[in-house]
Structure 1
Amino acid sequence: MQYVKELRFCERTSRVWDAHSPGVLQLPSGSLVRGRALRHSIPDGPRPDLGVYLQGRDPGDFDWDSRWVRWPDFWLPSDSKELAVILREVLRRSATERVEIACTGGVGRTGTALACLVALDGVPGSAAVDYVRHNYARRAVETPWQKRFAKTFVKPGSLL
């Protein structure tokens, strides 16, 4: 029985990111999500199982499962309800799979989406931006409207 438990643990951990890899953010629940900049080549190592790409234009095809969120640089997502659905999928899948969130620079839109994800994972919206700036990138969430969006993404008492 102990062997089966250890095997399941190894199977789970072999499909997630290394917590010490660049860009990897540990969520409050313990799940790991990688943020990155699309302008840089993909890092060495394992590929994502799911990628969420925050771009003003369709980023094209990837060799893994991917979602595109229309999100112009320095602005907000075109459809916040679509973002909520995708981030809930990210939260669910990141417990057992390698998931990445990326935009061109890996800071503004990516940081905002990560802050929204942290809020979905239980951190109050007022603390979500600070959590991401402390644990992912200190310049994450670039504009005042991105910060406001992340802080109010999960409304108290809502089922978003």
Structure 2
Amino acid sequence: MVRGRGLRRPLPDGQRPEFGLYLTGRPPRISGWPSRWLRWPDFWLPLDRDEAVQAIHEAWTHSAARRVEIACGGGVGRTGTALACLAVLDGLSGRDAVDYVRRNYSPRAVETPWQRRYVGNFRP
């Protein structure tokens, strides 16, 4: 029920999301479904950690019954980090969550050491 993508790429074929979480430095131009924007600069961490926990938890809650899209500019670092945090909410350890996302989404996901550490310390 969750897909990651890069906003610099076209919207993929198939069903549209029913909720989106967008991780960018500026508000994205998204319309057509409810969404939430989280200010998260490229290669870094969310600027407001408490808001990030709330936003990721909101996406996780929506994913129980709705199609959710999580996206950043390239669809790798920030998106992979948020996807790994969803896996932590599902019960994986931080290390296992990063491995899972790299194996099942993108081998380059969770690009930086501080993003890996963020996933390891992620607590709702």
What TM-score does the superposition give when structure 1 sets the normalisation length?
Answer: 0.74
Count how many residue pairs are aligned between Structure 1 and Structure 2. Answer: 124
Instruction: Determine whether 1:52 maps to 2:15.
Output: no
CA deviation after TM superposition for structure 1 residue 118, in Å: 0.6
Alpha-carbon separation, structure 1, partners of 2:59 and 2:72: 16
> Structure 2 vs 1, CA of residues 39 and 95 (structure 1 numbering), >3 Å: closer, same or farther?
same
**Equivalent residue, structure 1, for 2:107:** 138
> Structure 2 vs 1, CA of residues 61 and 35 (structure 1 numbering), >3 Å: closer, same or farther?
closer
Q: Pick from 37, 56, 62: which aligns with 2:6?
A: 37
**Equivalent residue, structure 2, for 1:84:** 53
Query: Which 4+ runs in 1 deviate beyond 6 A?
Result: none
**Equivalent residue, structure 2, for 1:125:** 94
Alpha-carbon separation, structure 2, partners of 1:139 and 1:63: 29
Alpha-carbon separation, structure 1, partners of 2:4 and 2:75: 6
**Equivalent residue, structure 2, for 1:97:** 66
CA RMSD of aligned residues (A): 1.0
Alpha-carbon separation, structure 2, partners of 1:134 and 1:44: 23
Alpha-carbon separation, structure 2, partners of 1:36 and 1:126: 22
Q: Which has the larger radius of gyration?
A: 1
Letter in 2 for 1:104: G
- 5+ long unaligned stretches in structure 2: none
Alpha-carbon separation, structure 2, partners of 1:73 and 1:33: 21
Alpha-carbon separation, structure 1, partners of 2:12 and 2:52: 25
Letter in 2 for 1:121: D
**Equivalent residue, structure 1, for 2:81:** 112
Percent identical residues:
60
CA deviation after TM superposition for structure 1 residue 149, in Å: 0.6
Instruction: Determine whether 1:147 maps to 2:120.
Output: no
Alpha-carbon separation, structure 1, partners of 2:15 and 2:52: 25
Letter in 2 for 1:42: L
The 3-state SS of whatever aligns with 2:14 is coil
